[in-house]
Chain A
């Protein structure tokens, strides 16, 4: 009799029926998750990542569609994440969020594994600049699924700084005494100084360049109010007028305005600007690999990416939201956050772990502690 063949738990039922439905909704067969094998989609998906990549709505929908929970642990830093997974084992997490050039590092350390991103439907929606990227690829397999990108624009308080800056050296202006704040990423701070002293590759500086960067940092110190550990702090400081200059992603000015702050203008130094693109990776030895892949496919659905852009005000690697914004007549919002200028990607100094990271750290500690 038919009823004897029904799945015996409500969960199983949801998984088999809903997963097939979800696959249809996403427009393609989910890679490596065959609806017929849906019973193997076991969760929960354990994610170690930054908050700006996941929405409650996405998670609820995923739970509905697959019966899998998504457990999200806030990441604290690329190197801590690397240490935690490498020392603690790949079975702790299924997905880890990684920034830019840290991705190849994670791969070299055997902490993540490649997957077939090109088979996922969203691959088609990637900007060409991303499709052409080789640093995240091994053959045609990808180390990470791209998510967001942005230059770290130097935002300055237009009400206090009347003349627009023309060079990165404006940071050393004595008028800016204790009016600058940067996040406490030691490599990034030193890299900014590297840009200021004309280093060839600010994230792989020679000893000479490092010495010059160290001097530059010493000159910068009187102008720095603090190095907060969290980026959100920069928004708050700018909003309440404690600082006049900071480095934030594309939507910095909008976020500061919304926090009740003054009008900020963006400055991209001709000497160079730091930028990033980030993504999420599958952890090697992940316990719930299939569910993790399903989650990656699910979360870049157009339903979710647009709200994410609106909330965090920086571009994603996908063209979909840009088209929708333009159609909605919000092209200038898209333009303000650089969404329609992906060519900037090739001009940015991409963040990543320097080969001589100890030297960077020592410079930061010695200048800051001195």
Chain B
């Protein structure tokens, strides 16, 4: 499956890689930096260092509810989108049928419509046409629609990627389809499913467009941040962003250490 000798890393390539990481994290570093900046406009100049913004976060009832709502929506979206996406991936990769191109276009289509416009249209359908009340569930469904295409692609890659010979070998040895799936397929595509879950979670947490019109009276984190920035209270959201980044890096490192084989 893989060549015996690991290919080397030319210096130019290494520099490019480092440069891109720098590019990716420069705004983040600044964000963290400004979260300690006394200047209430949250930008240069640096007028002093303080932990005030972090303290203010703790009292912020709106932020906490928005965060909770965002988390609930994201955590509900992940299993649904990942499940639906995985099924679709199987349907697209593992089967042959006449309208497969059409089916694949249908599955990927939601990526094409800008979120905020889709959200408005969903609102009209739900309320004016169907008379369905808005709730966390309507938002979750909106998020599922928007994130499933990504899940499909993440799992499909993995599903198609591994050597099918393993499947037929197991079948030849007498395993029925279910056992093949459980013992061979599932473990091999698990990284793809995890990747799908991660991507869905990330996108759901940061989605503003679809959410605004479908959330009803609730508020999610992106909506909260938009409102805060509108009010000019940027440093507290800087603190929030910093906590997120630090938290997620911590989780990543722990996962890396635990999962190292």
Contact = CB atoms under 8 A, between A and B. Distances in A.
Do A and B touch, yes or no (CB under 8 Å, in the complex)? yes
Interface of A: 46, 50-52, 56, 59, 69, 71-76, 83-84, 87-89, 91-93, 230-232, 235-236, 239-240, 258-260
Given A231-B230, A235-B232, A260-B47, A56 B61 contact: yes
A46 B217 CA distance: 6
A236 B223 contact: no
B135 to A, nearest CB: 10
A239 B45 CA distance: 11
B40 interface: yes
A259 to B, nearest CB: 5
B121 to A, nearest CB: 10
A56 B123 contact: no
B123 A230 contact: no
Given A73-B227, A84-B212, A260-B39, 20 more contacts: A46-B217, A71-B62, A71-B217, A71-B219, A73-B219, A74-B226, A74-B227, A76-B226, A83-B120, A84-B213, A87-B120, A87-B123, A87-B128, A88-B216, A89-B133, A89-B134, A92-B134, A93-B217, A232-B229, A260-B41
B217 A52 contact: no
A56 B65 CA distance: 14
A305 to B, nearest CB: 17
Q: Which label, helix, strand, loop or mixed, suits the secondary structure of the B interface?
A: helix
Given A46-B217, A73-B223, A259-B41, A88 B134 contact: yes
28 contacts: A51-B231, A51-B233, A56-B61, A71-B217, A71-B219, A72-B62, A72-B219, A73-B218, A73-B223, A73-B227, A74-B223, A74-B224, A74-B228, A74-B230, A74-B231, A87-B127, A87-B128, A88-B123, A88-B213, A92-B134, A92-B217, A231-B230, A232-B229, A232-B232, A236-B41, A259-B40, A260-B41, A260-B47
B6 interface: no
Contacts of B233: 51
B96 interface: no
Contacts of B219: 71-74
B215 to A, nearest CB: 8
